[in-house]
């Protein structure tokens, strides 16, 4: 479903990576690892279509994602370093906003990340880990086939990281693909690893 052919990325005049090819089928998971500055976040941004590669192509079901950026955006969820929350809105209102764009059940998403008891609190009073869980809750809204996650466990305690496992497993069991940049192990059994 997701293919990368001879991808290259430049940062200024410096080659970040080149000659990168991979193929991920339904239910696959890929961990992007490597030192800070190795290109993990850049790779995710190329896979989203937000950045263009210096060389090569990203394909979805054999078609270059650059040919229809809107269609590609509709098939993925991208979780970046920023949690993208509205601080004045409550936890539930933040999810309701995203559900209005994508569909899905707010209650089920809150339950998936154990935030239902905090549904009426403004996002601004949440801890950094709770904010990250709220950002992750967007994944549990309407299903899409591709999740691109940049350091999804930042700020999470051990119990929250463990709770992420069933969410990732359900997505993969439904044929979804997960690509995650990480410095720590994630609950993604049998994931491939690409060290940049």
Q: What pTM was estimated for this model as a whole?
A: 0.93
Residue 8 lies in a domain: no
Q: Are 122 and 87 in contact (CB under 8 A)?
A: yes
- Structural domain including 111 reads 26-50+69-195
The confidence score (pLDDT) of residue 82 equals 85
Residue 56 lies in a domain: no
90-103 pLDDT, tens digit per residue, is 999 999 999 999 89
80-90 pLDDT, tens digit per residue, is 988 889 999 99
Residue 149 lies in a domain: yes
Spatial separation of the C-alpha atoms in residues 41 and 180, rounded to whole Å = 9
28-51 pLDDT, tens digit per residue, is 999 999 998 888 999 999 999 999
- Residues of the chain with pLDDT below 50 are none
Residue 3 lies in a domain: no
CATH code, domain with 100: 3.40.50.300
**Total domain count for the chain?**
1
In sequence order, what are the residues at sequence separation of 6 or more whose Cβ sits closer than 8 angstroms to the Cβ of residue 181?
Answer: 31, 32, 33, 40, 41, 43, 44, 149, 150, 151
Strand-pairing partners, residue 39, are none
Strand-pairing partners, residue 59, are 3, 64
Residue 6 lies in a domain: no
Closest C-alpha among 118, 29, 137 to residue 77: 137
């Amino acid at each position: 479903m997701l293919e990368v052919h001879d991808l290259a990325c430049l940062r200024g005049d410096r080659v970040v990576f080149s000659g990168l090819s991979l193929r991920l089928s339904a239910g696959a998971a890929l961990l992007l690892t490597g030192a800070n500055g190795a290109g993990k976040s850049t790779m995710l941004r190329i896979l989203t279509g937000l950045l263009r590669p210096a060389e090569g192509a990203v394909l979805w079901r054999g078609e270059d994602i650059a040919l229809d950026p809107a269609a590609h955006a509709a098939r993925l969820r991208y979780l970046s370093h920023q949690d993208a929350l509205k601080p004045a809105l409550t936890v539930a209102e933040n999810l309701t906003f995203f559900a209005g764009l994508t569909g899905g059940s707010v209650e089920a998403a809150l339950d998936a990340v154990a935030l239902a008891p905090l549904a009426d609190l403004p996002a601004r009073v949440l801890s950094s880990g709770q904010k990250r869980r709220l950002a992750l809750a967007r994944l549990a809204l309407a299903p899409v086939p591709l999740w691109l996650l940049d350091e999804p466990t930042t700020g999470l305690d051990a119990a929250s990281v463990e709770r992420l496992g069933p969410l990732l497993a359900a997505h993969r069991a439904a044929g979804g693909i997960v690509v995650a940049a990480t410095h720590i192990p994630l609950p993604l059994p049998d994931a491939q690893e690409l060290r940049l």
